[in-house]
Amino acid sequence: MIKQSETKRLDIFWWLTKLLLKFLALWPVFDNDLLSTRISNNIHLFIIAIGTIYQIIGMTTMCYMNFTDFLSAAESIGPMICLYRYQRFKLAHLAQSIENSINNEKCDEYKYLEKFASIGGMACGSLHCVCLILTLGYLSYPSFTSERMLPFAVYYPWNWKNSTFFYIISYSHEAMITILLTSANATEFTFVWAICHCCARLKVVQQKLMKLSMDYNEYDEQELKKIISSFVKIHSNILSDVEIINGAYTYIVFLLFLAAVVAICCAGLQITSPSAKSSYAILFLLLAIYFAEQLLFYYLPGDILAEEALAVSFAVYSSGWESFEIKHQKTMSLVIMKSNIPLKLLAGNLSPLRLENYASQADE
């Protein structure tokens, strides 16, 4: 019963991730899909892009017209959907691999994927709940004001303050874009999924090495060659996937770090300004905390992945590889060498995604 509950939770988490990405037209569309599916996906993306671009332009225009409006400046920084969309086809391979593992309960990495994904699912769920609360707060804010207001300070070429019709259009546009940007948390979900899948396969490699060390004398030459080739192939695929993950997310993490810096600077300006409202300072502090929490969703999985990768080299050391034949010793030493090289999960291709780096940046 517990096993079925864990499986159902895993399926629900994956289904939610797919739903949010499809809502944003970010879910991969493959070459063998119907032409109508690809056309509708591109139209969907075009509508989202036009609405989002106008939101950004409108906020930027409002900031230019009122340069001291630091609230608008901070709110102009949203999830980096364009970067994710650019890498979508590379990430299609990862998505297919994860889905195959979820749909195949008999595969080696399934039980480890359940373990890692259950922790990641709780973390991602908490982030999404916080984002939903902030979204509801923004969208409901105009109803608590005495005059007609919009959730965000955006420039519109019409007089929405004196026209109910234009106010409905403006509010609907901002509400739609806000909900879409809330759904963009799925980009964090996919990062966690990809890292969990890599960690699960690294666990499989560790288990194969432990089993090899215990049963080495029971295998003949062909069986030994097959076993070593299998985990070397898994390890090579993991390293390749990590390269794809880094290419897709490295600049997203870097921009989130810059967003946190901007939010903190704006909070400082609001606190030191004698004419600033205290509510604005609190809002900027909340935004800074939110961006810092988002960054933690990248640094913590990156740290876990690095630890699991290092554990592979320890497993090789304890496998008694020095007693293997020369050709197998060369293969095992190659695995040790690649496991000891730090995995290339970086923020802006500069700083490794490790918890010690996150702590140092938080102190700064």
Q: How many helices (H) and strands (E) does the chain have?
A: 12, 2
d(CA 85, CA 25): 8
What DSSP line would sit under 3-55, residue for residue? HHHHHHHHHHHHHHHHHHHHHTT-S---TTS-HHHHHHHHHHHHHHHHHHHHH
333 close to 313: Cβ distance less than 8 angstroms: no
pLDDT at position 330, please?
76
Mean pLDDT value of segment 14-28: 68
- The token pair at 91 is 């990430």
**Three-class DSSP labels, 173-203:** HHHHHHHHHHHCCHHHHHHHHHHHHHHHHHH
Band (25; pLDDT cuts 50, 70, 90) = low
Is residue 106 predicted with pLDDT exceeding 60? yes
Q: What is the pLDDT of residues 286-323, one digit of tens each?
A: 666 777 777 777 788 888 888 888 888 788 777 776 66
Surface-to-core class of residue 109, CB atoms within 10 Å of its CB (0-12 exposed, 13-18 middle, 19+ buried): buried
Q: Which of 25-34, 102-111, 146-155, 177-186 has the highest mean pLDDT?
A: 102-111
306 close to 345: Cβ distance less than 8 angstroms: yes
pLDDT at position 2, please?
46
- Residue of higher predicted confidence among 294 and 65: 294
d(CA 229, CA 218): 17
Q: Please calculate the CA angle 247-248-251 and round it to the nearest 5 degrees.
A: 85
Is residue 218 predicted with pLDDT exceeding 50? yes
148 close to 159: Cβ distance less than 8 angstroms: no
Residue 151 DSSP SS3: coil
Question: Parallel, antiparallel, or unpaired: how do β-strands 346-347 and 351-352 relate?
Answer: antiparallel
247 close to 83: Cβ distance less than 8 angstroms: no
Q: What is the pTM of this model?
A: 0.72
Is residue 232 predicted with pLDDT exceeding 70? yes
Mean pLDDT value of segment 85-89: 63
The DSSP secondary-structure symbol of 284 reads: H
CA distances from 304 to 107, 187, 206, 312, 343 (A): 22, 19, 15, 13, 11
For the chain, what is the mean pLDDT?
72
Q: What is the pLDDT of residues 309-360, one digit of tens each?
A: 888 878 877 777 666 777 777 777 777 777 767 677 887 777 778 877 776 6
Band (138; pLDDT cuts 50, 70, 90) = confident
CA distances from 14 to 103, 179, 296, 336 (A): 11, 20, 21, 33
